[in-house]
């Protein structure tokens, strides 16, 4: 059954029988047309669409095997989002505001931009606290050491002579630096 408005009649106190405004919990008589209610309803609809899309495409869920690298990626995403919000705001600010709708759009973009700034700030400060770059570098140094030990084992196993061993180490080192 379709849900009804959560408001009540002011005369009888009975639950309202009207249908809510799309995405909202109340009908047009119970504040469904108010700006904040409309904004919230809009967000709910977008969220609902996103959930449906998520269910439909059923994206593969991959476990995070390197949380530091994942966090570094995430920080990059957050910064890209902030940049996008900034250019959106710039675009909107460049046009003369001729209608209430445009005014609302700009107010919305300002809010999104501020939120993006806050998020970027949070992410960057925890990034700095974790010294992720240093740790990532330390991890790849460890991995490189492991690979070099493996190379040594292979050199010993194959019974390579001194020149071949030197060449093998040189090639391996060059490939590791390329990463």
3-class secondary structure per residue, the chain: CCCCCCCECCCCCCECCCCCCCCCCCCHHHCCCCHHHHHHHHHHHHHHHHHHHHHHHCCCCCCCCCHHHHHHHHHHHHHHHHHHHHHHHHHHHHCCCCCHHHHHHHHHHHHHHHHHHHHHHHHHHHHHHHCHHHHHHHHHHHHHHHHHHHHHHHHHHHCCCHHHHHHHHHHHHHHHHHC
CB of 34 to Zn ion, least distance (A): 13
CB of 129 to Zn ion, least distance (A): 49
CB of 9 to Zn ion, least distance (A): 8
Of the pair 27, 155, the CB lying nearest Zn ion is at 27
Of the pair 16, 106, the CB lying nearest Zn ion is at 16
CB of 38 to Zn ion, least distance (A): 15
Of the pair 9, 102, the CB lying nearest Zn ion is at 9
Query: What residues make contact with Zn ion under the rule CB under 5 A?
Result: 5, 7, 16, 18, 27, 29-30
Of the pair 3, 55, the CB lying nearest Zn ion is at 3
């Amino acid at each position: 059954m379709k849900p009804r408005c959560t408001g009540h009649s002011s005369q009888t106190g009975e639950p309202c029988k009207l249908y809510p405004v799309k995405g909202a919990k109340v009908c047009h008589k119970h504040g469904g047309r108010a700006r904040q209610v409309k904004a919230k309803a809009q967000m709910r609809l977008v969220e609902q669409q996103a959930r449906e899309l998520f269910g439909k495409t059923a994206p593969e869920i991959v476990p995070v095997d390197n949380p530091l690298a994942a966090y570094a990626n995430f920080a990059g995403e957050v910064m890209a989002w902030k940049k996008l919000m900034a250019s959106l705001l710039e675009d909107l600010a460049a046009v003369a505001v001729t209608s209430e709708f445009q005014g609302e759009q700009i107010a919305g973009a300002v809010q999104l931009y501020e939120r993006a700034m806050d998020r970027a700030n949070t992410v960057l400060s925890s990034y700095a606290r974790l010294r992720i770059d240093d740790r990532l570098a330390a991890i790849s140094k460890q991995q490189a050491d492991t690979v070099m030990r493996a190379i040594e084992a292979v050199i010993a196993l194959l019974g390579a002579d001194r020149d071949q061993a030197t060449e093998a180490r040189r090639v391996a080192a060059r490939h590791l630096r390329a990463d």
